[in-house]
Amino acid sequence: MARAGGRFGHPKPRLRLVLTVQYAAEGDGLPTRSQLRAWVKSALQHDADVTVRLVSAEESRTLNRQYRGKDHATNVLTFTYPEIDLLSGDIALCIPVIEREAREQHKNREAHYAHLVVHGVLHLQGYDHEKAADAQVMEMLETEIVTGLGYAAPYESKDER
């Protein structure tokens, strides 16, 4: 289900999205192209050209080590291409890490994928969570978007559900 409106009840403008989906690793119950499109569009504030690549732990670890200097697989990585006029970038989702986190955190797997796609799209648009104030803004947006898609708030503890 796509989000009906923008922030604070304002109508969300119709945005142009060129989406490429790459399944570079296998898994059971992976998000469909239509789900990924809906999740990406729900977080977009600008026309965009986005590639979502679902990857193995090995590929995630390699990318994370090469581009962030961290030698481990991570749930989502976002790469932006600011030299291109249109908002453009890649989002790498690590299947094994996302699946493990969903199990360990007792989260609905589909909701966790949706949240991490939204998280990646917000990074693509310049949102960050390095500073506490920026993290608060980003988490508020993520929560608004994810709950607007019909999923539970992503930052609730399992005791609050």
pLDDT at 18 over 80: yes
* Higher local confidence (pLDDT), 18 or 5: 18
Across 9-43, b (16+ Cβ under 10 Å) vs e yields: eeebeeeeeeeebeeebeeeebbeeebbbbbbbbb
Q: What is the predicted pLDDT for the residue at 37?
A: 98
pLDDT band at 82 (very low <50, low <70, confident <90, very high): confident
The vertex-141 CA angle with 135 and 144, nearest 5°, equals: 140
pTM for the whole structure: 0.89
pLDDT at 160 over 90: no
Helices (H), the chain: 33-43, 57-68, 95-104, 109-124, 132-148
Query: For the chain, what percent of residues have pLDDT higher than 70?
Result: 89
pLDDT at 12 over 80: no
- Segment 93-110 shows an average pLDDT of 96
- Cα–Cα distances (Å) from 69 to 38, 56, 78, 122, 130, in that order, read 32, 18, 14, 22, 16
